[in-house]
């Protein structure tokens, strides 16, 4: 079903009724699972992702040629050699996650690429040098897909790493950006769009950008569609801005959970927490 | 995952665990009673994009999600049935008089259900994973009743995809968790209401609120039909893990408990509806049956049994002091008898004795198959009225179907 982009200019509203710079509803939880070292659940619109982090642990025995943690989507590791912890990311995309049921086979190229992108993004932020000869297993489960999958995966993995207490420089917050008209339309005046959903992702040029915390430092930039170079700058600017909003959201989730844990007495209130509003 | 997952327990710990589980009543490491399940958190309808979904979190932190998706698929016509179809069905289409007869002609096929199990850290062609999914789908398809529900008309049927995902690392043998989650997901599964009649191309009501449940709730059936008011309608099967240690039968064993099991069984049961009672012509017998049913709560029916290879077989045996050279045991065949063996009048070589005979407090992995009497007792215990299965089904009934 082709996306009707002509109506955008009439009301400046997108198919789901958002303005150009609006994020979809983001809902996130951390520490969703008691057994894991770190876990999180993230919804961006209808994209729903769960993440479970185990580690840093001693690297397990590698079975056959498959990387450890190589579940459904296969595992991809980065770092690892000698003095740094290896980050092994496994992505399982549930068969029921898309509109039509589809079996995502093991070693699916697209899934492997997602895994390696997430792994590299986190390797830039986690202090892996503190855990030599060890391994951090990140297993991501995609429960429902509606665009911006890579961004959701990165955000969920970041939250789970925070929950696992792995030292990191800052949040790696990710977001997608697009443009209001197709590449073929060659429209110079096309507006950039923030946070594409599945329908928009199919039709319009888009990119995924992840930044390191509040800074403008880009950790991930993935663009898989054709787009005129003149539009790229606007899209990137909107994307980086979206990442900042996303960072605020992630930070709020972590803080709220922290406050709740202190209130429940799970952890002791440490020094320097006096400024946290305990209502 | 294989049930024979490595358990990091020493022979001494295994012996202690085995001894405490063999007591009457047994003392379990987590303080549960032998028939008690681990507490769990369950929710259904978590994924609006599926026909039915459920999530269960056990207290030990293991978590599973099941999503059910249905697609309309054309039924492959077999040569024999083809002729019948041309003779009577083709022209009349949706004739009311024929509805009753076609109701009886409903038949299902095992290939209409596809089940996949995903366990993190394991390949999906892993033998343990394949065994798990075989066990779960076997229970579902055992009586052919389930596949018949997917019948639309003679030319079309629903194809049901069950995707089972274990979210957490497999901390204990995940069979009960996956089975309970699948049960809940199937309970919450709804299929669009059919609007077309007879053997037309199927056409469905697009109002999701009107979509009937695949397993109709008992309250609904009582509203629709007058005859089956007391019926607890048929439920999807549940597969329970039961194990035997000495003379005790223990339900829902944890990983450590499974490591000392003498025998472990996966038993699939279902509670059946009063199908038979409503079809019964004799009103007195029907009333009697209903009365009986009310008394018992529900009829449990055994669907399948599988023996699980308990990991206890692969545990290292303990060495009795009598046979341990470090404690002064003689290694030679004709040495002086050590202290412990002196009360034995027979001239058994101590080394041999400790390897073949049970010594109190020394762990010996079970050898040989489970005894028939033990298997019988396990199944009996599962099917007991008002027992564990009733408890579990009642608890699952309490889960709000979103």
More confident residue, A222 or B110: A222
Task: Give B68-78 pLDDT, tens digit per residue.
Answer: 999 999 988 76
The rounded distance, in Å, linking the Cα atoms of B238 and B338 is 53
Q: What is the DSSP letter of B314?
A: G
Strands A75-79 and A86-93: antiparallel
Q: Which pLDDT belongs to residue B233?
A: 61
List chain B residues with CB under 8 Å of A92. 118, 120, 165
Mean pLDDT value across residues A55-62: 75
Mean pLDDT value across residues B223-232: 39
Using CB atoms, pick whichever of A69, A71, A103 lies closest to residue B116. A103
Residues 6 or more apart in contact with residue B377 via CB below 8 angstroms: B244, B249
- SS3 call for B348: coil
- Kindly tell me if the per-residue pLDDT of A22 is higher than 80: yes
B50 Cβ under 8 Å from any chain A Cβ: yes
A96 Cβ under 8 Å from any chain B Cβ: yes
- From B144's Cα to the closest Cα of chain A, the distance in A is 24
The rounded distance, in Å, linking the Cα atoms of B149 and B214 is 7
- Kindly tell me if the per-residue pLDDT of B252 is higher than 70: yes
Mean pLDDT value across residues A259-278: 73
Which string of DSSP letters, residue by residue, matches B279-304?
H-S-HHHHHHHHHHHHHHSSEEEEEE
Beta-bridge mates of residue A92? A141
Task: Give B317-361 pLDDT, tens digit per residue.
Answer: 888 877 777 777 665 544 444 444 444 444 444 555 545 667 778
Domain extent listing, chain B: 11-318+363-397
Q: Which pLDDT belongs to residue A275?
A: 58
Write out residues 65-94 of B within 8 Å (CB-CB) of A: 65, 67-69, 71
Query: Best mutation site among B118, B133, B164, B254 for testing chain A: the one with the most A CBs within 10 Å?
Result: B118
Tokens of B324: 């341990």
Task: Give A162-204 pLDDT, tens digit per residue.
Answer: 999 999 999 999 999 999 888 888 887 788 999 999 999 998 9
Alpha-carbon Rg for chain A in angstroms:
19
Using CB atoms, pick whichever of B60, B123, B167 lies closest to residue A50. B167
> Which residue from A97, A96, A73 is spatially nearest to B122, judged by alpha carbons?
A73
Task: Give B52-68 pLDDT, tens digit per residue.
Answer: 999 999 888 889 999 99
Query: Best mutation site among B52, B116, B169, B171 for testing chain A: the one with the most A CBs within 10 Å?
Result: B169
Contact indicator for B302, B254 with CB cutoff of 8 Å: no
> Which residue from B264, B258, B267, B259 is spatially nearest to B238, judged by alpha carbons?
B267
Measure Cα distances from B262 to A72, B3, B246, B353 in Å: 34, 14, 7, 21
Query: Best mutation site among A58, A69, A101, A105 for testing chain B: the one with the most B CBs within 10 Å?
Result: A101
Q: Other C-beta atoms within 10 Å of B174: how many?
A: 25
List chain A residues with CB under 8 Å of B113. none
The rounded distance, in Å, linking the Cα atoms of A8 and A15 is 8
CA angle B334, B340, B345 (to 5 degrees): 65
Using CB atoms, pick whichever of A46, A90, A141 lies closest to residue B165. A141
Mean pLDDT value across residues A44-57: 92
More confident residue, B80 or B157: B157
Residues 6 or more apart in contact with residue B181 via CB below 8 angstroms: B42, B54, B55, B56, B64, B65, B66, B164
- Kindly tell me if the per-residue pLDDT of B87 is higher than 50: no
B137 phi/psi in degrees, rounded to 5? -75, -30
Q: Other C-beta atoms within 10 Å of B53: how many?
A: 28
Measure Cα distances from B377 to A129, B242, B372 in Å: 56, 11, 8
Residues 6 or more apart in contact with residue B179 via CB below 8 angstroms: B136, B139, B237, B238, B239, B240, B268
- Mean pLDDT lowest for which of A13-17, A67-71, A159-163, B365-369? A67-71
Write out residues 164-223 of A within 8 Å (CB-CB) of B: none
Using CB atoms, pick whichever of A54, A100, A103 lies closest to residue B169. A54
- SS3 call for B117: strand
Which string of DSSP letters, residue by residue, matches B144-166?
SHHHHTTB-SSSEEEEEEEEEEE
Tokens of A163: 């929950």
- From B118's Cα to the closest Cα of chain A, the distance in A is 7
Residues 6 or more apart in contact with residue B260 via CB below 8 angstroms: B14, B17, B18, B21, B245, B312, B315
Tokens of B264: 């472990």
A143 Cβ under 8 Å from any chain B Cβ: yes
Contact indicator for A177, A207 with CB cutoff of 8 Å: yes
Beta-bridge mates of residue B299? B272
- Residue B211 has, within 13 A of its CA and on its CB side, a CA count of 16
Across the interface, whether the CB atoms of B118 and A72 are under 8 A apart is answered yes
Query: Best mutation site among B112, B121, B171, B254 for testing chain A: the one with the most A CBs within 10 Å?
Result: B121
Residue of chain B with shortest Cα separation from A98 = B49
Place of tokens 């289409």: B93
Which string of DSSP letters, residue by residue, matches chain A?
-----TTHHHHS--TTS--TTPPPPEEEEE---SSSSEEEEEEETTEEEEEEEEEEEPPPPPPTTSPTT--TT-EEEEE-SSSS-EEEEEEEE-TTSSSS-----TT-HHHHHHHHHHHHHHHHHB-GGGSTT-EEEEEEEEEE--S-HHHHHHHHHHHHHHHHT--BSS-EEEEEEEESS-TTTT-TTPPEEES--HHHHHHS-EEEEEEETTS--EEEEEE-S---HHHHHHHHHHHHHHHHHHHHHHHHHHHHHHHHHHHHTSS---TT-TTS---
ipTM: 0.85
- Kindly tell me if the per-residue pLDDT of A53 is higher than 90: yes
- Kindly tell me if the per-residue pLDDT of A127 is higher than 50: yes
Task: Report the CATH number of the B11-318+363-397 domain.
Answer: 3.30.230.70
Across the interface, whether the CB atoms of A34 and B161 are under 8 A apart is answered no
- Kindly tell me if the per-residue pLDDT of B86 is higher than 80: no
Mean pLDDT value across residues A247-258: 95
Place of tokens 């009048």: B345
Q: Which pLDDT belongs to residue B125?
A: 78
The rounded distance, in Å, linking the Cα atoms of A66 and A49 is 24
Name the average pLDDT for chain B.
Answer: 77
Which run of H or of E encompasses B257?
helix B255-258
List chain B residues with CB under 8 Å of A68. 121
Q: Which pLDDT belongs to residue B297?
A: 60
List chain A residues with CB under 8 Å of B46. 143
CB pairs under 8 A between A and B: 91
- Residue B274 has, within 13 A of its CA and on its CB side, a CA count of 27
Q: What is the DSSP letter of B44?
A: E
Residue of chain A with shortest Cα separation from B60 = A35
A62 Cβ under 8 Å from any chain B Cβ: no
Residues 6 or more apart in contact with residue A128 via CB below 8 angstroms: A79, A84, A85, A86, A87, A136
- Kindly tell me if the per-residue pLDDT of B83 is higher than 90: no
């Amino acid at each position: 079903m082709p996306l009707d982009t002509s109506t955008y200019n009439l009301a400046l509203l997108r198919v789901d009724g958002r303005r150009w710079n609006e994020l979809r509803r983001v809902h996130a939880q951390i520490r969703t699972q008691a057994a894991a070292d770190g876990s999180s659940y993230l919804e961006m619109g209808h994209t729903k992702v769960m993440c479970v982090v185990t580690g840093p642990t001693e690297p397990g025995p590698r079975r056959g040629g498959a990387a450890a943690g190589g579940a459904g989507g296969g595992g991809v590791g980065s770092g690892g050699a000698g003095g740094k912890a290896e980050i092994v990311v496994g992505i399982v995309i549930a068969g029921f996650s898309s509109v039509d049921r589809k079996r995502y086979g093991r070693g699916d190229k697209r899934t492997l690429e997602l895994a390696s992108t997430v792994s590299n993004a986190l390797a830039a932020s986690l202090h892996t040098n503190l855990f030599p000869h060890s391994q951090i297993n990140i297993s991501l489960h995609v429960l429902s897909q509606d665009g911006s999958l890579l961004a959701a995966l990165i955000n969920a993995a970041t939250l789970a790493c925070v929950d696992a207490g792995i030292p990191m420089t800052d949040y790696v917050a990710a977001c997608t950006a697009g443009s209001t008209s197709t590449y073929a339309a060659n429209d110079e005046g096309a507006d950039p769009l923030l946070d594409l959903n599945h329908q928009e992702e199919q039709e319009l040029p888009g990119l995924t950008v992840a930044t390191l915390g509040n800074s403008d430092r880009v950790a991930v930039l993935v663009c898989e569609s054709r787009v005129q170079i003149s539009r790229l700058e606007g899209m990137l600017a909107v994307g980086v801005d979206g990442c900042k909003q996303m960072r605020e959201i992630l930070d709020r989730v972590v803080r709220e959970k922290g406050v709740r844990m202190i209130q429940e007495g799970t952890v002791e209130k440490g020094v320097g927490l006096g400024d946290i509003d305990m209502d | 995952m294989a049930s024979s997952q490595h358990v990091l327990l020493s022979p001494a710990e295994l012996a202690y665990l085995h001894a405490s589980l063999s007591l009457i009543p047994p003392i379990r490491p987590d303080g549960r009673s032998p028939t008690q399940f681990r507490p769990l958190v369950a929710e259904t309808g978590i994924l609006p994009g599926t026909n039915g979904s459920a999530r269960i979190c056990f207290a030990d932190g293991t978590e599973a999600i099941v999503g059910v998706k249905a697609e309309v698929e054309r039924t492959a016509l077999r040569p024999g049935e083809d002729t019948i179809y041309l003779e009577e069905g083709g022209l009349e289409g949706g004739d009311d008089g024929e509805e009753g007869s076609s109701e009886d002609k409903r038949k299902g096929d095992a290939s209409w259900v596809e089940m996949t199990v995903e366990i993190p850290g394991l390949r999906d062609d892993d033998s343990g994973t394949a065994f798990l999914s075989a066990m779960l789908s076997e229970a579902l398809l055992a009586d052919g009743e389930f596949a018949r529900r997917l019948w639309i008309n003679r030319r079309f049927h629903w194809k049901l995809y069950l995707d089972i995902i274990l979210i957490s690392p497999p901390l204990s043998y995940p069979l009960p968790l996956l089975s309970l989650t699948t049960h809940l997901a199937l309970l919450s599964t709804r299929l669009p209401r059919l609007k077309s009649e007879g053997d037309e191309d199927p056409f469905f009501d697009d109002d999701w609120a009107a979509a009937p449940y695949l397993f109709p709730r008992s309250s609904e059936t009582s509203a629709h039909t007058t005859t089956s008011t007391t019926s607890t309608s048929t439920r999807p099967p549940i597969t329970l893990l039961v194990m035997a240690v000495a003379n005790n039968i223990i339900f829902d064993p944890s990983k450590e408990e499974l490591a000392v099991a003498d025998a472990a069984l996966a038993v699939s049961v279902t509670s059946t509806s009063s199908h038979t009672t409503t079809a019964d012509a004799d009103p007195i017998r029907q009333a009697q049956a209903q009365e009986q049913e009310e008394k018992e709560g529900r009829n449990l029916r055994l669907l399948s049994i599988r023996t699980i290879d308990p990991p206890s077989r692969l545990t290292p045996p303990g060495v009795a002091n009598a046979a341990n050279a470090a404690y002064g045991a003689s290694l030679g065949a004709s040495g002086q008898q050590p202290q412990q063996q002196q009360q034995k009048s027979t001239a058994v070589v101590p080394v041999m004795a400790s390897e073949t005979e049970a010594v109190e407090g020394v762990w010996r992995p079970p050898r040989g198959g489970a005894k028939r009497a033990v298997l019988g007792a396990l199944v009996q215990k599962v099917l007991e009225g008002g027992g564990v299965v009733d408890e579990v089904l009642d608890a699952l009934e309490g889960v709000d179907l979103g």
